[in-house]
Chains A and B, each alone.
Chain A
């Protein structure tokens, strides 16, 4: 008798807890949770970040760099001396993006492709890995073309980068970027054609829409160029991302800002610059 009542109470308590039991019936996630949005933009400051434009998205970037801050009031502290790069990046697949751009001062056309190799997984794979391959053509004029020893291939240079980043928490992301730059033709006999450098970078979100970025490229076998240190702000406003930076390097492409750089922060060779990027969804 008592047993039956106890038993019935036991089963009734089942139905009281049924809502919890029902929740337990629902599928438990066993698929990996990918960590996304490691950076706001596809660049940390000057160098590429592990972010790619999303599939079907065209990103148009206007980049400006001005002269050095120590160039005096006569040059309005560098603002008179501006250079520009216009760039397009397009996401072909979620894991593959291509880009095309042109820099004004060095008259260089660049093309790159970014390939996402691995994504960061929550409680799993700790880093996101992206490979970046880029090729650069320095434009020439017709008169140069008539020189006997002119070779088109001499106008080319290449950059290969492995971008490895980890979102430590929702605000902080760190990235390490081993970089190889190859010049088909260097200017002096002393220079190597292959230049190795190691990039370190990161971002810290100070609000939901503003982050502080920093980036450092250390020259590993290049004694001529200085190391590159840059700081920037990313400001996101709806469809645009504004990036404001200070750097001791003035160029906007990898062979330019890493290996054609003699600026020194302590001497005041600091270049102000900004990027504006806008995304267009072409393919929904």
Chain B
């Protein structure tokens, strides 16, 4: 009988918590490459993300083609030569929130860019209010970890380490 009650509670909890999910389709991811010769930045305002309160699962997904550069030629080279967006159209992150202390969260999971998946861990602010979650984070990725090759001729124009910023507000899914 006890077992029965426990499992019943478990079922209820599972169902109840599964229902609390947060989602966004217009998050912002930007990146910045800084070298003495040239600074390159791009922004993607169509990032989608979802968060499950019960399991702490957090996923992100974006279209590489939707990164907008201030200079069109950079955008062309980014898509054609570096990220090869025709072959690898999407980038995604599948992970979970490991802990939250004072609205500072640690998130770990698998980040896939350019068809290559790496386990990463990052920290950022994670502000949960009644029916939304606001996530702000900044982290560094290395181009060589994702097999993005920079030819020697432009080596001094593109940084090996790229700063990525994430800014997204997820709204409770009803």
Contacts and interface: CB of A to CB of B under 8 A. Distances in A.
A8 B72 contact: no
A8 B54 CA distance: 15
Nearest to B9: A8
A52 to B, nearest CB: 11
A60 to B, nearest CB: 13
Q: Which secondary structure characterizes the binding site on chain B?
A: mixed
Nearest to A281: B71
Q: Which secondary structure characterizes the binding site on chain A?
A: mixed
B63 A11 contact: no
B134 interface: no
B94 A23 contact: yes
A284 B71 contact: yes
A192 B52 CA distance: 73
Contacts of B92: 23
B116 interface: no
A4 B4 contact: yes
A26 B25 contact: yes
Interface in B1-17: 3-4, 7-8, 10-11, 14-15, 17
Nearest to B87: A170
Contacts of B51: 22
B35 interface: no
A27 interface: yes
Interface residues of A, number: 33
B11 A11 contact: yes
B173 A25 contact: yes
A5 interface: yes
B160 to A, nearest CB: 18
A88 to B, nearest CB: 16
Given A19-B94, A239-B73, A4 B8 contact: yes
B55 A18 contact: yes
A1 interface: yes
Interface stretch (B74-82, B98-106, B122-130): B74-82
Assign chain B's interface to a size class: 35 or more
A281 B18 contact: no
A33 B154 CA distance: 29
B11 A238 contact: no
Contacts of A18: 18, 52, 54-55, 57
A208 B80 contact: yes
- Among B48, B54, B65, B87, chain A packs the most CB atoms within 10 A around the CB of B48
A44 interface: no
B72 A54 contact: yes
A26 B59 contact: yes
Contacts of A26: 23, 25, 48-50, 59, 61
Contacts of B96: 19
A7 interface: yes
A65 B89 CA distance: 40
A31 to B, nearest CB: 10
Nearest to A205: B80
A57 B173 CA distance: 42
A96 to B, nearest CB: 15
Given A11-B11, A26-B23, A208-B80, 18 more contacts: A1-B3, A4-B11, A8-B10, A8-B11, A11-B18, A15-B14, A15-B17, A15-B52, A19-B57, A23-B59, A33-B65, A36-B79, A54-B72, A57-B73, A170-B87, A239-B73, A284-B70, A284-B71
Interface of B: 3-4, 7-8, 10-11, 14-15, 17-18, 21, 23, 25, 48-52, 54-55, 57-59, 61, 63, 65, 70-73, 76, 79-81, 86-87, 89, 92, 94, 96, 151, 153-154, 157, 173
Interface of A: 1, 4-5, 7-8, 11-12, 14-15, 18-19, 22-23, 25-27, 29, 33, 36-37, 54-57, 170, 208-209, 237-239, 279, 281, 284
6 contacts: A1-B4, A8-B14, A12-B14, A25-B23, A33-B65, A209-B81
